[in-house]
Amino acid sequence: MKFGGTSVGSAERMRVAAGLAAAERARRPVVVVVSAMSKITDLLLGTMRHAEAGDRAGMDANLAALRARHEEACRELLPEPRCSAVLERVHELIAEFERIVGGMAMLNERPPRSVDEAVAVGERLSALLLSEYLVSQGVPSAAINAWDVLVTDAVFGNASPLMEPTRTKARARVLPLIETGVVPVITGFNGATADGRPTTLGRGGSDFSASILAAALDASELWIWTDVDGIMSADPRLVPDAQVLDEVTYAEAAELAYHGAKVLHPKTLAPLVERKIPVWSKNSFAPEKPGTRIVPSVREAAGARAVASMANVALVSLDPASPELNGVLVMARALDALARADVEVLILSSSSYRQNFCFLVRQEELDLAVRAVESALALELAHGYVDPIRIDRNVGMLAAVGEGMQGKRGLAGRIFTAISRVQVNIIAIAQGSSELTIAVVVRREGLEKAVGAVHAECGMGSRPPAPVFPGGKAHATKREM
Ligand code: ADP
Ligand code: ASP
Ligand code: MG
């Protein structure tokens, strides 16, 4: 069972989380993975930015908030004398964080390795509190720092698991505990290299931690507890009539996550594929609701089932100035540079006639991306063989996802028509070869409208869909496809 930030966001929420874990433990062994309390990771990262900038007042204010939040939860959860003993551990962990942040303030620098070590304190604090509360309720439990069980490569801030050593370490540490009825509460989000350097798995990475550990421990199921009823046909914050999907495939969930559905970390499903471990996405605020079951495959594939979107993206365009230049080679060199810089290309679209191409990246990776491409194509840019790189920040991306979309003729046409009907211009289109997803780049200000339009057009919501192809346009759109 993995509990997200809001599901352990207060003493009250931790009590509920502990109750859910304890109830299941009465039936079968349970391993718990926790996020930091909600907003704590942002607070920790913000503190480190203050430290780098030499802003002592900002640091102190954040540290006071960090202390207050965990002290309050601890006092509400635990009776004396246990509370004082645990508060001491809370203060030790916060002192560890303070020590690293102090170093950053001294150096005016935030080395990625130290960031990973420091930010894991959020999860270490929540694991400590939840585990201590379980013990106070008569459920034997032990808090575990994932440094001791989850082995990763050394890509700080965005590490990938090394499954074999993780399997060995996790089983050695965790199986003896569950065999004696102890509930391990493991920190999500973090891990360590084989030689013990702390790492993290990227923002929202606790889902990924849980799936890595589920695979390593040969779990029979993985339950991801969050603050919505499951995986929905759209982000309920954007589309009020979004509905919960009772079942989705690994591939659908992964595509939705990859295209911005925050409900799951994009890499969550990967470790589970081989062992076909089913996943439940469930609401810890309404545990009686069934939630969404994520399974390897479904018997009958429906069409477009859900729409995801991303707002903070930028489109980068490259145009070879001369037709003699081999555009594919320019593209290959640009992509090679992006891969080396570890920039994730979300969408790639090219025209073979003009040899130009554009790619979509997250805004936080934009500078890195542009610098990488500029240096890879420095000569071509300097001599004007390639036009100056164009950047468009005023864009957003949405993606319609569903197994069996390829079987639905005319669907892409309907999606594009629905978007233009709400007066939103389409800038670029990409359809992956899996044909599970159609992704569209639109003007930023039209993104929400476009998401709503696609959701309604495809009949994804709880309201009946608008009539399709009014005025007999069906054939025209079909032919376009
Ligand atoms: P947790 O802290 O439990 O990991 P997150 O905030 O990371 O929770 O993810 C849950 C949030 O994801 C929801 O509150 C919801 O607003 C958002 N979300 C975006 N797209 C979807 C979707 N398709 N289905 C469900 N939730 C979604
Ligand atoms: N606490 C981490 C974050 O906020 C990991 C997670 O919540 O999944 O990114
Ligand atoms: Mg999350």
In tens, the pLDDT along 92-106 reads 999 999 999 999 999
Q: Are 37 and 10 in contact (CB under 8 A)?
A: yes
Is residue 306 lining ligand 1, measured as CB closer than 6 Å?
A: yes
**Average pLDDT value for residue range 281-305:** 91
Residue 199 CA to chain centroid, in angstroms?
16
Q: Is the pLDDT of residue 222 over 60?
A: yes
Are 315 and 359 contacting, i.e. CB atoms less than 8 angstroms apart? yes
| Domain boundary pick from 227, 247, 282 | 227
What CATH number does residue 344 fall under?
3.30.2130.10
pLDDT for the residue 481: 29
Structure tokens, 277 = 């471990």
Reported confidence tier of residue 351, pLDDT bands at 50, 70, 90: confident
Provide the CB-side half-sphere exposure for 292 (13 A, CA): 22
Structure tokens belonging to residue 427: 């800038």
Q: What confidence category does residue 434 fall into, taking pLDDT thresholds of 50, 70 and 90? A: low
The protein residue with its alpha carbon nearest to ligand 2, atom 2, reads 204
Q: What is the pLDDT of residue 355?
A: 78
Under the banding of pLDDT at 50, 70 and 90, the label for residue 464 is low
Residue 142 · residue 177 · CB < 8 Å: yes
Same structural domain, 65 and 185: yes
Residue-wise pLDDT tens digits, 315-329: 999 998 887 788 888
Average pLDDT, the chain: 93
In angstroms and rounded to an integer, the radius of gyration of the C-alpha atoms of the chain is 24
Q: Do 156 and 46 share a structural domain?
A: yes
Ligand 2 pocket check for 9: Cβ under 6 Å:
no
Tell me how far apart the alpha carbons of residues 110 and 113 are, in angstroms, rounded to a whole number: 8
Residue 230: CB within 6 Å of ligand 2? no
The Cα-based distances of 477 to 59, 412, 418, 425, 457 in angstroms read 57, 8, 12, 17, 14
Residue with the smallest CA separation from ligand 2 atom 5 is 204
Q: Note the pLDDT of residue 324.
A: 78
Range of 301-315, 359-373, 457-471 with top mean pLDDT: 359-373
- 59 pLDDT higher than 60: yes
Nearest atom (ligand 2) to Cα of 189: 5
| Cβ neighbours, 10 Å, residue 117 | 21
Domain, as residue range, for 380 = 306-457
Q: How far apart, in Å, are the Cα atoms of 274 and each of 212, 294, 296, 434? A: 12, 14, 10, 19
**Residues 443, 332 within the same domain:** yes
Domain-located, residue 282: no
Determine the longest span between alpha carbons in the chain, in angstroms.
Answer: 79
Cβ atoms within 10 A of the Cβ of 139, count? Answer: 19
410-428 per-position pLDDT tens digit? 888 999 999 999 999 999 8
Residues 220, 344 share a domain: no
Instruction: Note whether 74 and 86 are within 8 A (CB).
Output: yes
Let me know if residue 241 belongs to a domain: no
Looking at the fold, whether 150 and 62 belong to one and the same domain comes out as yes
User: Which residues lie at CB < 5 A from ion ligand 3?
Assistant: 4, 204
Question: For the chain, what is the domain count?
Answer: 2
Among 1, 116, 189, 200, name the best residue to mutate to test ligand 2's pocket (greatest count of ligand atoms within 8 A of Cβ): 189
Amino acid sitting at position 60:
D
Query: What pLDDT is attached to residue 44?
Result: 98
Residue with CA closest to ligand 2 atom 6: 204
Query: Confidence class of residue 462 from pLDDT cuts 50, 70 and 90?
Result: confident
Confidence (pLDDT) at 433: 61
Atom 8 of ligand 2, nearest CA residue: 204
Tokens of 390: 């164009």
CA 229 to centroid of ligand 1, rounded, Å? 9
Q: Is residue 289 part of a domain?
A: no
Helix %, strand %, coil % of the chain (to 5): 45, 20, 35
Tokens (6 digits) for 116: 């990973």
The CATH number of residue 37's host domain is 3.40.1160.10
Cα 336 to Cα 316: distance, rounded to the nearest angstrom = 15
Percentage of the chain exceeding pLDDT 70: 95
**CA-to-CA dists, residue 160 to 211, 233, 251, 378, angstroms:** 12, 29, 19, 32
Average pLDDT, integer, range 113-139 = 98
Residues 72, 179, single domain; the answer is yes
Is pLDDT of 350 > 60?
yes
- Asked if residue 312 and residue 198 are part of one domain, the reply reads no
Collapsing DSSP to helix, strand or coil, 27 comes out as coil
Query: Last residue of a domain, which of 202, 227, 252?
Result: 227
Non-local (6+) Cβ contacts of 11 within 8 A are 72, 73, 76, 77
188 within ligand 2 shell (Cβ under 6 A): yes
Q: Is residue 361 part of a domain?
A: yes
Q: In the predicted model, is pLDDT for residue 465 greater than 60?
A: no
CB environment 282-304: b (16+ within 10 A), e (fewer): bbbeeeeeebbbbbeeeeebbbb
191 and 42 in a single domain? The answer is: yes
- Is the distance from the beta carbon of residue 257 to the nearest atom of ligand 1 less than 6 Å? no
Least confident piece of the model among 233-237, 259-263, 347-351 = 347-351
Contact 97, 121 (CB under 8 A): yes
Identify whether residues 321 and 211 lie together within a single domain.
Answer: no
Asked if residue 156 and residue 15 are part of one domain, the reply reads yes
472 pLDDT band (50/70/90 cuts)?
very low
3-class DSSP assignment, residue 369: helix
Is 391 domain-assigned? Answer: yes
Of 441, 402, 455, nearest to 311 by C-alpha is: 441
Query: Does the residue 197 lie in any domain?
Result: yes
- In this structure, the number of other CB atoms found within 10 A of the CB of residue 175 comes to 15
- pLDDT grade, residue 471 (50/70/90)? very low
Give me ligand 3 centre to Cα 230, in Å.
12
Residue 131, in any domain of the structure: yes
CA 261 to ligand 1 centroid distance, Å? 7
Q: Is the pLDDT of residue 190 over 90?
A: yes
pTM beyond 0.85: the answer is yes
Residue 122 forms part of a structural domain = yes
The set of residues, in sequence order, having a beta carbon less than 8 Å from that of 353 and lying 6+ positions away, is none
> Do residues 346 and 202 share a domain?
no
Predicted local distance difference test score (pLDDT) of residue 303: 83
| Alpha-carbon span 411 to 418, nearest angstrom | 10
Q: What confidence score (pLDDT) does residue 432 get?
A: 66
* Inter-residue contact 211 to 170 (CB < 8 Å): no
219 and 340 housed in the same domain: no
CA distance 9 to 311: 26
Flag whether pLDDT at 467 surpasses 90: no
Does residue 469 surpass a pLDDT of 90? no
- pLDDT (average), residues 251-275: 95
Last residue of one domain, picked from the residues 175, 200, 227: 227
Side-chain half-sphere of 338: how many Cα atoms within 13 Å? 23
DSSP string, 194-208: TT--EEE--TTTHHH
Q: How confident is the model at residue 81 (pLDDT cuts 50, 70, 90)?
A: very high
